[in-house]
Amino acid sequence: MRLTFLIFCGILLLFGCGSDETPEPIEQIPNYFPDTVGSRWTYLNSDGTQGTVEVNGETNIDGKHYRILKDTPQPQETEFDPLKPVYYRITENQVFFAVSGEIDSYIQNELLASVQDDFAGLQLSVAVDSISDPELTFFQFPLILNSQWEALNLKISGSISLQNLALLQFPFEVIMRITGEVVAQGPLETPAENFEETYQIKYQTEITQTLFLETETWQDRQTIWFAPHVGIVKTENEDSKGAVLIAYSLAPAKD
């Protein structure tokens, strides 16, 4: 009899014996890097203008699922900046930017511009050897102070043709390498909000270009402040130009 009673009590305890309390719902943790379509961030640029970035769609590139970022107003043609993405995707612990568009823009604009003066009046065209869709590793989370990683390491080769003549083709090679490092962690005041936790990430870009047997190297540095579950809250380049977050709204995650 005693054994039966103990078994009975054990069953009641297992299924909530003596309690009519409803278990509290588990709070849904927001994305570390927000990616819900409809999320918006408005920034004040260092020149006094404002711009809004919005997640406004989804797409597939080379079998990978990306979110699409739309800038309003549309930015004018600027220098090569792979850290300002149009397409991005998130895995369990990493954020990737698709940078094929930025690479194409660099080759067609920056590379050709570097030789335009030498061949004034001649028709120039670029042919690029096939490469798989490149990605830049924005960061891996959770972010850790002093962590470093190789964000991009890419070699692009091809040729520049004059007047579309096969005998007047000149090979080129461009090596792009970008590294990232978490250099600081702490609060940050912005017009949008005073964030208690942000990570200051420094990226260094190095581009080595070889054309007509001459090699040149350029370097650039950019700093990005990132707030978990909010996104990018401030940017700054070597010339102290950048942007700061003044407002944002995150769309609720889909069930």
DSSP string, 175-187: EEEEEEEEEEEEE
Contact status, residue 46 vs residue 240, Cβ threshold 8 Å: yes
Residue 27, pLDDT score: 43
CATH 2.60.40 assigned to 30-249: no
Coil, helix or strand for 226?
strand
pLDDT tens, residue order, the chain (255 aa) = 444 443 344 433 333 444 455 555 444 445 789 999 999 999 999 999 999 999 999 999 989 999 999 999 987 766 778 998 899 999 989 999 999 988 888 888 888 777 777 777 778 788 888 777 799 999 998 899 999 999 999 999 988 888 776 667 888 899 999 999 999 999 999 999 999 999 999 999 999 999 888 899 999 999 999 999 999 999 999 888 899 999 999 998 775
Residue 45, pLDDT score: 95
What single-letter amino acid sits at 63?
Answer: G
Residue 24, pLDDT score: 52
Q: In whole angstroms, give the CA distance from residue 39 to residue 58.
A: 13
Coil, helix or strand for 180?
strand
Residue 166, pLDDT score: 65
Residue 14, pLDDT score: 38
208's tokens: 């080595």
Centroid of chain to Cα 93: 14
Q: In whole angstroms, give the CA distance from residue 50 to residue 84.
A: 16
Residue 163, pLDDT score: 72
